[in-house]
Amino acid sequence: MIISGTEPQRPVIYIVSDSIGETAELVARAAASQFNHGHVEIRRVPYVTHPEEIPEIVEEASGYPSIIIFTLVLPGLKEALEEEAGRRGVPVVDIMGPVIKSLSQVLSYTPRLEPGLMRRVDEEYFRRVEAIEFAVKYDDGKDPRGIILADLVVLGVSRTGKTPLCMYLAHKRIKAANIPLVPEVMPPEELFQIEPYRIIGLTIDPEQLVTIRKERLRSLGLPDNADYAKRERVDKELAYAHDIYRRTGCHVVDVTSKAVEETAGLVFDLYRKANVNQKDGDSK
């Protein structure tokens, strides 16, 4: 597990963590900068998960001027390190312990004491940002390559809420692309090359869609009697959309009188169940 090879020529700060050890290293480097960073060596010992690993670490640290900075949240590991370091006279600094203890008193909650939680939170944040950027890049059929890359592809005629739905799903870390369906324009061939469970078709009551489109035209300062908002045109587009849905074999979600949050909840459930079923099928 360790660590060294040659004996250090300067004092050493050992970073001992039951996760990757980034937090403690940042603190160590910040502190060392106050003493001219070049005079201190920093060695990281990540993923320490068993008390049996502790003596070897402390033994090496006791061989020359050193301190151990640790972020061990599991009580057994922390106690083993403090006991072994005390026996060998190696100074130790607990980065997380005092803060966790104070927060427990203020919040009146018991800490979870799970290693690596902050890293998991960071990874979730970056996945969310990545999904949002994906939704923007592949919005409104801008690039058919997004169909192959997407977790979900959302289909629908104009004003069925495709873009808001994709953005909402992005906040759940789902990469969603959307494709507008227009009778005069064939959808990309890529749409028929992916699995049906990765496609969601949106439908809506035609009268409600007529009303939504008229309001949209008025908001743009245009007359609301354009073909775009006429019932005949709406019926034609919805019929075309349902033909595409049949051809792809996708799930269809009715968004009539639904808020985007409600639609997203339905779509998310379909996505989750489809992925579970897919994994079960792959394992057989």
Task: Annotate the chain with three-state secondary structure.
Answer: CCCCCCCCCCCEEEEEECCCCHHHHHHHHHHHHHHCHHHCEEEEECCCCCHHHHHHHHHHHCCCCEEEEEECCCHHHHHHHHHHHHHHCCCEEECCHHHHHHHHHHHCCCCCCCCCHHHHHHHHHHHHHHHHHHHHHCHHHCCCHHHHHCCEEEEECCCCCHHHHHHHHHCCCCCEEEEECECCECCCHHHHHCCHHHEEEEECCHHHHHHHHHHHHHHCCCCCCCHHHCHHHHHHHHHHHHHHHHHHCCEEEECCCCCHHHHHHHHHHHHHHHHHHHHHHHHC
Give the pLDDT confidence score for residue 1 in this predicted structure: 47
Say what the pLDDT of residue 37 is: 55
Mean pLDDT along residues 271-278: 79
Neighbours of 17 (CB within 10 A): 25
Within 13 Å and on the Cβ side, how many CA atoms surround 205? 7
Domain CATH number, residue 146: 3.40.50
Indicate if the pLDDT at residue 113 is higher than 70: no
Statement to judge: residues 84 and 137 lie in one domain: no
pLDDT at 134 over 80: yes
Question: Is 274 found in the same domain as 234?
Answer: yes
Indicate whether 145 and 100 sit together in one domain: no
Q: What is the mean pLDDT of the chain?
A: 87
- In the predicted structure, residue 120 carries a pLDDT above the cut 60: no
d(CA 232, CA 242): 16
Prediction pTM value:
0.61
Q: Answer yes or no: is pLDDT of 207 > 50.
A: yes
Please report whether residue 117 resides in a domain: no
71 in a domain, yes or no? yes
Choosing from 107, 142, 160, the residue where a domain stops is 107
C-alpha–C-alpha distance, residues 268 and 261, integer Å: 10
Q: Give the DSSP H/E element, type plus range, for residue 261.
A: helix 260-283
pLDDT (0 to 100) of residue 76: 84
Q: Which of 99-103, 148-152, 249-253 has the lowest mean pLDDT?
A: 99-103
Average pLDDT over every residue of 111-130: 68
Domain of 49, CATH number, reads 3.40.50.1370
Tens of pLDDT, residues 1-41: 444 445 556 789 999 988 878 888 888 888 888 886 567 88
> Quick check: 200 pLDDT over 60?
yes
pLDDT category at 116 given cuts 50, 70, 90 is low
Q: Does 4 fall in a domain?
A: no
- Residue that is written with structure tokens 């700060």 in the block: 13
Domain that holds residue 46: 12-107
State the DSSP H helix or E strand holding residue 274, giving kind and residue range, or none if neither: helix 260-283
Identify the pLDDT of residue 146.
93
